[in-house]
Structure 1
């Protein structure tokens, strides 16, 4: 099994990067010990801001094609969304915009677990909600989602310490269905 995991943030100290790495390690330890997990860093896919003029002049950016191919090569994805002003980060939006010009079904009908970590109490409710709302248009097969709010109280520097968050992340990971087989 090939699992693609990334934080939809370009912050090098992103709490969403920490959360997606934690979730991927739990996936391997509890559900799929032989899974190959590939982590992507949005900083490796930095491109000019999408515009139709750029696309007409230069075509689809090669980094957008590379990211799209990574999604296509995965069996499932774990994505943790940072929430900036109630929406996805500009870095992720730009990558998504470029990929949508290859195919509107950016997620290529792959099973996805959505996560979010925020310092505030709403636990990424807006960003998770918008991703859920737009999922059918972009070919995202959401299996489950969970937001971790009040990150400073939830994370002790090594692991999640709130039992309800650990249980919900395990439930979300267990809901992943890969090639017709449920993992839980």
Structure 2
């Protein structure tokens, strides 16, 4: 059975991006889902080379890096903070990148974003699309879900056009998982 990590790339305990990532993973058959909650990493120090020289890498970062190596793929849904990544998520990525560089180990990844607004986190998703291949992600697809509260009700994506788009992206992700 394939193992995938889902991440709602937000430090909010009630993140709509966590909800969206979890929902998307639930639509995939025969996988083990490991949910990473970025809010559990709020005590990780802000990355700096000075801190790194004076201290060791935080244990939770080393464990997360090992977990990233042990899975078969990733589903990440990004919160958009001022047009970019949430600071807490970016800090985790900065720390993991110091371990070996290729954070995502050339494994399949489905990138997502959502927000209450009409653009659905499109700016952060575009940044992720351009950066993640450099970080070792094998992108299989992407989707931005606009106006989350209007399109996602009762734990379900209710907009039929968006659901069709999502199912296509999931199909591409599943195909990549099988061949990887």
- Asked if these proteins are the same fold (TM beyond 0.5), I'd say yes
Unaligned runs of 5+ in 1: none
RMSD across aligned positions (CA):
1.2
Alpha-carbon distance in structure 1 between the residues aligned to 2:118 and 2:39 = 28
Selected match of 2:151 from 150, 154, 179? 154
Q: CA deviation at 1:44?
A: 2.1
Could you give the per-residue CA deviations for residues 78-117 of structure 1, whole angstroms, max 9, x where no partner exists? 1111111100101100000001111221111110001111
Q: What is the match of residue 18 of structure 2?
A: 17
Q: Counterparts in 2 of 1:34-113, with a 5 A limit?
A: 34-46=30-42, 47-113=44-110
Does structure 2 retain, via aligned residues, the 8 Å contact 1:104–1:137? no
For normalisation by structure 1, the TM-score amounts to 0.91
In the alignment, structure 2 segments of 5+ residues that lack a partner are none
TM-score, length basis structure 2? 0.93
**CA deviations over 1:129-152 (Å, ceiling 9, x no partner):** 111111232111110000101112
Contact kept? 2:133, 2:139, Cα under 8 Å: no
Number of corresponding residues = 176
Instruction: State whether residues 76 and 110 of structure 1, in contact with CA within 8 Å, keep that contact through their aligned partners in structure 2.
Output: yes
